[in-house]
Amino acid sequence: KQEVTQIPAALSVPEGENLVLNCSFTDSAIYNLQWFRQDPGKGLTSLLLIQSSQREQTSGRLNASLDKSSGRSTLYIAASQPGDSATYLCAVFRANAGKSTFGDGTTLTVKP
């Protein structure tokens, strides 16, 4: 059974700091890993998708890496801003299962 863990559960940083969010998974048989952002009371917004054959993806100030063999992914946020405050979730799409397993998320607060 696939398990996805996100550590830390909450993180508070001052504005301008670079930060890393972590995601680990137990079964390396995945098609892809996806990072999402969720604002309070809202749906999930897709940030980055990394295919199992890829090592990283970048979008603006965000960079996501994937090490499938060790079951780890990181989301790097450069020069954090108060508008980055949200809950960040990772999800792994399991091979031959047609469905994803989600972590519980990391709630990020960026203080002005």
31 burial type by CB count under 10 A (0-12 exposed, 13-18 middle, 19+ buried)? middle
Q: Which of 43, 60, 83, 112 binds other proteins (CB under 8 A)?
A: 43
Helix (H, G, I), strand (E, B) or coil at 71: coil
Does position 13 interact with other proteins (CB under 8 A)? The reply is no
**CB half-sphere exposure, 96, CA atoms < 13 A:** 3
Residue (71 or 105) nearer to other proteins, CB: 105
Q: Pick out residues in 67-106 that bind other proteins (CB under 8 A).
A: 89, 91, 93, 98-100, 102-105
The whole-angstrom separation of Cα 103 and Cα 112 is: 28
In angstroms, how far is the first alpha carbon of the chain from the final one?
41
Q: Which of 31, 62, 63, 85 binds other proteins (CB under 8 A)?
A: 31
DSSP-derived pairing of the beta strands 10-14 and 106-111: parallel
Q: Which of 2, 22, 28, 32 binds other proteins (CB under 8 A)?
A: 32
Q: Using alpha carbons, select from 89, 87, 112 the residue that is nearest to residue 17.
A: 112
Does position 12 interact with other proteins (CB under 8 A)? The reply is no
Shortest reach from residue 108's CB to other proteins, in Å:
15
Under the rule (CB under 8 A), what is the footprint of other proteins? Answer: 31-32, 34, 36, 41-46, 49, 51, 89, 91, 93, 98-100, 102-105
